[in-house]
Structure formats: C-alpha cells, structure tokens
C-alpha cells in the first residue's frame, strides 16, 4: 500500500503461475481488458459515424435496425396493413415500431432481454423454445399471425463454425414457429447470415412457401455477413389450431 492509500500493482511475484506464453494471470487479465476496451471504442466510433444511427435517433426509433425492416418491406413488397405480426427476438423494439407504423393491426414480440413497453404491442420476456412463453406471447393475438419476423442472432464466440451452427439453430427455430403458426399465405422474414439460408433450411422454405428470396438491405452494414430471407405465400397445412 502506498502512502496515499492506493494499492500499487507490483506484478505476479515469485510464485505466480505462468501460461504457455509466459504471461501471468494478472497480465492476461490486463490484456483482455485492454482488448475489450479497444473493441468498445471501435463500436462507439462506428456508431457515431453511422448515418442510420443518427436517422433512427432523430425519427424516434429504438434502433438503426428499424431501417432494415423498412427497406426489406419495400424491396419485398410486404404489406403490414391490417395484419397480425409476430416479432421473434424483438429487443430493443425497432421492428415493432415499424410494423405498427406500416399499419399492422396487432403486434406481439418475444425476447430474452427485457425492453421498455411499446404502446399497443404485447411483449413477452421469454424464450421462443419454451412453450409457455410462446403461448403467453400468442395470447396477444386474436388469430394466426400473417407475418412472422425474426432478427434473432446468437452471441458470437469468434469461432466461425460454432457461430454458424448457433445462427442456423436460431433460423431453424424461427422457421419451425412460422410453419406451426402462420396463417395461409403468410410471410416469414428472417436474418440468416453466412451468405443465405443453408441448403436444408432453403429446401424447407421452398416446400412450405411459394416464393423465397434473399435480400441484403442497404441499412445492413457492408462489412456485415448478415442477409435476410423472405418467404411469401405460406402453403396452408389444412385445418389446424394456430396455438
């Protein structure tokens, strides 16, 4: 302890364990902390320079992602007016705002993260993989959804194969939900990454929808691997309960 009462770091000491690179635990923590700070700094700089971030703030949207849905709806000629909409992975709420703005009659959403309420929307904090959470979300609709939206993305690990598998799993989960609950002629829109839907997912989409295409909206950063799949004209499975 120094005279001014502050603890001074003196290094690992004689008994400190080293890793294979020769760095002590303390040194590795400092390096990791600095790397995280640099990453945060780059993210902040990118946000400040991003025109969509400024536009979203000025327009009162909760995220720049709002413009992705606006552009996707325009490019794919999606109609929201009078439709029932489900937003999977809805935090922080930008897509719900756009769905309402484009005239959706009912909008519900679910996310693992808590978000501030949005007037007129029924939002559930929960897991799409949990039946009770899905039922709670669907209780906000008066009938089968006409559009199922998913902007879900897994937290990245830095390991390309692992990240790809986790992303595919979310797309498959969202598609399963859409196939089970969509109204006839409904629409499914989902983030897919990695150059588009996998062969297996694409085959399922084509089996259940009349029109399937990939779109990368201008609001999606050029360096981002994200791309969206839009499947229109859901082929009804006959008489079935929607929930």
Catalytic residue numbers read 191
Rounded to whole angstroms, the Cα distance separating 156 from 159 reads 8
SS (H, E, C) the chain: CCCCCCCCCCCCCCCCCECCCCCEHHHHHHHHHHHHHHHHHHHHHHHHHCHHHHHHHHHCCCCCHHHHHHHHHHHHCCCCCCCEEEEECCCCCHHHHHHHHCCCCEEEEEECCCCCCCCCEEEEECCCCCHHHHHHHHCCCCCCCCEEEECCCCCCCCCHHHHHHHHHHHHHHHHHHHHHHCCCCCEEEEECCCCCCCHHHHHHHHHHEEEEEEECCCCCCCCCCCCEEEEEEECCCCCCCCC
143-161 per-residue burial string, b: 16 or more CB within 10 A, e: under 16: ebbbbbbbbbeeeeeeeee
Quick one: which of 205, 198, 131, 140 has its CA closest to 168? Answer: 198
């Amino acid at each position: 302890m120094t005279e001014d009462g502050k603890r001074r770091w003196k290094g690992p000491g004689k008994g400190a364990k080293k890793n294979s690179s020769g760095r002590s635990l303390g040194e590795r923590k400092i390096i990791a902390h600095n790397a995280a700070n640099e990453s945060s700094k780059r993210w902040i700089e990118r946000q400040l320079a991003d025109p969509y971030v400024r536009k979203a703030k000025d327009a009162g949207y909760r995220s720049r992602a709002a413009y992705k849905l606006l552009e996707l709806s325009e490019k794919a000629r999606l109609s929201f007016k009078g439709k029932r909409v489900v937003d999977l992975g809805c935090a922080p709420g930008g897509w719900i705002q756009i769905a309402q703005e484009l005239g959706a009659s009912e909008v519900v959403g679910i996310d693992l993260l808590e978000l501030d309420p949005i007037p007129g929307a029924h939002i559930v904090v929960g897991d799409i993989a949990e039946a009770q959470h899905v039922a709670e979300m669907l209780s906000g609709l008066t009938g089968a959804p006409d559009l199922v939206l998913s902007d879900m993305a897994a937290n990245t690990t830095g390991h390309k194969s692992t990240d790809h598998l986790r992303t595919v799993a979310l797309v498959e989960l969202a598609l399963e939900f859409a196939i089970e609950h969509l109204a006839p002629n409904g629409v499914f829109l989902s983030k897919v990454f990695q150059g588009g839907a996998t062969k297996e997912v694409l085959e399922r989409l084509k089996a259940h929808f009349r029109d399937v295409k990939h779109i990368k909206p201008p609001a999606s950063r050029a360096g981002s691997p994200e791309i969206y799949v839009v499947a229109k004209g859901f082929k009804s499975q006959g008489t079935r309960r929607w929930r």
